[in-house]
């Protein structure tokens, strides 16, 4: 058996094993999901703000439940080369002023 001198099981290694991710409305009803022995399941709330991991050891006993808070770190999008609606409206206003001034000169 994988036990150390103190009779406690060795920590589970997560490398090389698939991990199921389940999208849930909230964490209130995740007890309904069964987790097979020796596996873990990651629950993600619909707001995409928290993860909760539940696992079972090879004998089927629950492991420590772990929770993480997510923070989006995507950098702001760079200019795409396209004008926004506000930029177009500002340009139209400037053109209207220029046309108005030109029409005054042609009178």
pLDDT band at 14 (very low <50, low <70, confident <90, very high): low
Provide the whole-model pTM.
0.54
Q: Other CB atoms closer than 10 Å to residue 85's CB: what's the count?
A: 7
State mean pLDDT over 35-62: 92
Separation between Cα atoms, residue 30 and residue 56, nearest integer Å: 14
Phi and psi torsions of 75, nearest 5° = -65, 155
> What is the pLDDT averaged over residues 46-65?
92
- pLDDT of 89 > 90? The answer is yes
Mean pLDDT value of segment 29-53:
91
Query: What pLDDT, on the 0 to 100 scale, is given for residue 68?
Result: 94
Alpha-carbon distance values, 56 to 1, 9, 79 (Å): 17, 12, 47
Give the residue extent of every domain in the chain.
1-71
43 Cβ contact list (under 8 Å, min separation 6):
21, 22, 24, 27, 30, 33, 51, 52, 53, 54
């Amino acid at each position: 058996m994988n036990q150390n001198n103190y009779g406690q099981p060795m920590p589970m290694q997560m490398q090389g094993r698939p991990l199921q991710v389940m999208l849930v409305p909230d964490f209130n009803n995740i007890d309904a999901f069964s987790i097979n022995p020796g596996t873990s399941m990651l629950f993600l709330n619909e707001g995409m703000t928290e993860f909760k991991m539940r696992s079972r050891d090879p004998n089927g006993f629950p492991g420590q439940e772990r929770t993480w808070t997510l923070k989006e770190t995507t950098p702001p999008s760079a200019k795409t080369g396209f004008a926004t609606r506000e930029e177009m409206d500002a340009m139209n206003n400037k053109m209207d002023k220029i046309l108005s001034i030109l029409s005054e000169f042609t009178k």
